[in-house]
Structures are given as C-alpha cells and as structure tokens.
Amino acid sequence: MPNNDKKTVIGKISYTNAWPLFYHVDTDRLPFEAEITSAVPAVLNQGMQQGNIHIGALSSFAYGEAADKLLLLPDLSVSSDGEVNSILLFSRKPLEQLGRSVIALTNTSATSVNLLKILMHKALGGSPQYLTLEPDLDSMMQSADAALLIGDHAIKASWYNEQYIVTDLGRWWKEWSGHPMTYAVWAVNRDAVLQMPWKMSRIARLFIESKQRSEQDLQPIIHEAAARIGGTAEYWDAYFHNLNYNFGLDQQQGLRLYFRYAFELGLLKRDVVPELWIDNMVMQVKE
C-alpha cells in the first residue's frame, strides 16, 4: 500500500514512443518529492501492479490484469489507428504459414505479445508455440520461425533487417478488427488516489501539459530521438505524427474489444471494462 510519507514514484516508459508525454514533465516543479523511474514496459507493469510505482505509464494489458488496483488517467495513451511502425513481427515465412510455428516474444512487452496471441488465434486460427526471450532479433531467430519486437528494439531491427518478412501488428489489428489499438495507458494506484489525491492530480496535470507542449512543437523530441537512437529527423517526425496520444471513444472501444478477446482466450481472468479517474470521480468507459 502506498505510504503518504514516502516519496511519490512516477513510472516512465523508456521507449521513444512515449517521449511526448514525458519530455516536459519536470518533477522539480512539484511542491513535494517525486522521483521518476524509467524502464521498459514489462518492468513498469510489475511496479504498478505491486504498488511500488504510484502513477505513470504501463502496458494496457497490464492495466487489464490489475484493473482492481488501478484507475486510468484520461486523455493519455500510446495508440495507433493502423500501422504503428514499432510493434513488428519478423518472420521467415508468410503469416498464413505461422499457425504451427515457433514464435519468440520480446520479454519487454505485455500488450503486444497478447495482441499477437489474439491475432494468431482469432484471425489466423493458428496455435503457435511461444518462447519469451531478450529482445535481440538475431538470437531470437536462432530458436524460432518468427520474432516479435516492440519499441526502439523493433525500430532498430527494422533498419537493418534485410531477410525477414515484417508484419506490423497495429495494421494487422486495424485490418482485422476495424479498430485502433492502445498499447500503453497512464494509470494511478487506487490507494494513492484515496491517500494523496491532490498529489496524484498534480502529476496527472504534468502529463497533460507535456502532451500539449509536444503537440505544439515536436522538434526537440525529434532531434533528440535522431541523436540518441539514430535515423533521420524525417523518420522521427513521421513516427511521432503517426502515433496517437489521446484516449478518446475510438481508442476506448478498441481497448475494450482487445480486453474482451483476451478474456475469451483466457489471457485475462476478467472481462475488463476500463475505469477512468476524472475530476476525482471514477467513470467506466462507454460500452
């Protein structure tokens, strides 16, 4: 249970895709102590589920697993309406031939690995064998017919890959389901909301302000991404503009459907209806 006297901990996705919602978050502006912990989604998911991180970003699937402990913050997500460009399945064979194959999954993700399972099962009628491995394309492909990578690992692999077929999971999901896909959400611990609501809403405001400043001017983020990860400014400009950082009705419905399919396949224990924390009130997303 979060302790009011302890430092508030904010979870930050280390992948570039989430930068616009974190880039301008400056905890020095807060009238209380808060620290940011930056990690790949799988690590943040655990921290949020266990209550060691009070507020921040996590895989939407991990929110679904712990919806009884967490509430969603409104208007924040990492989503795409079709191609995402950084959730990629690299394969030796075309998709249709992967139904009985061995697929290596990155150990950094929760949403995308379960999205792949849903698509493989429901869209393709397949039941591959899955292995969870460190996100390294070459070593993953030594023990599998296909490999799923996300985030900067997927982006870098897409730059050097010459031999594998690449399937974009955002595009596959959109073509099959007709909906956008939400990969990351921003959530807050329910106990933290009860114990320190004003601190939590101050931090939630920092995310919204960061999003607004990023919308006004993406240039600093684009240039830092090119300098740190590689690639051209044009690449990053297109990448960030393609992602959607809202959590509107379209995204909510897409996520609700994803949760339903995950429940039907036994990947989630409950059929989760996302709940938002808005103006100190808890609201269910519209069905």
Ligand X SMILES: C=C(O[C@@H]1C=C(C(=O)O)C=C[C@H]1O)C(=O)O
Q: Does position 84 bind ligand X by CB under 6 A?
A: yes
CB 3, min distance to ligand X, A: 27
208 three-state secondary structure: helix
By the rule CB under 6 A, 56 interacts with ligand X:
no
Query: Does residue 34 bind ligand X (CB under 6 A)?
Result: no
- Residue 210 binds to ligand X (criterion: CB under 6 A): no
Site membership for ligand X, residue 87 (CB under 6 A): yes
CB of 91 to ligand X, least distance (A): 18
Nearer to ligand X, 173 or 183 (CB): 183
**Which residues on adjacent β-strands are paired with residue 275?**
284
Among 118, 137, 150, 221, binds ligand X (CB under 6 A): 150
Task: Tell me the closest approach of the beta carbon of residue 81 to ligand X, in angstroms.
Answer: 12
- For residue 130 the two structure tokens come to 């899955």
Interface with ligand X, residue 167, by CB under 6 A: no
CA distance 148 to 160: 15
Q: How far apart are the first and last CA of the chain?
A: 31
Which H helix or E strand runs over 104? strand 102-106
Task: Determine if 59 is a binding residue for ligand X (CB under 6 A).
Answer: yes
Half-sphere CA count of 104, side-chain side, radius 13 A:
20
What is the C-alpha to C-alpha distance for residues 40 and 151, in angstroms, rounded to an integer? 9
Residue 42 carries which side chain, given as an amino acid letter?
A
Spatial separation of the C-alpha atoms in residues 41 and 62, rounded to whole Å = 9
Residue 37 or 195 having the CB closest to ligand X: 37
Judge whether 78 and 85 are in contact, CB under 8 Å.
no
Contact string (CB under 6 A) for ligand X, positions 234-263, x = contact: ------------------------------
Among the listed ranges 3-11, 147-155, 195-203, 206-214, the one in contact with ligand X (CB under 6 A) is 147-155
Among 109, 251, 252, 253, binds ligand X (CB under 6 A): 109
Rounded Cα distance, 207 and 12, in Å: 11
Sheet architecture: strand order including 55-59 = 34-39, 8-13, 55-59, 181-189, 70-80, 275-278, 281-284
- The answer to the question of residue 221 lying near ligand X (CB under 6 A) is no
Footprint on this chain of ligand X (rule: CB under 6 A):
13, 15, 17-18, 41, 59, 78, 84, 86-87, 109-112, 150-151, 154, 183-184
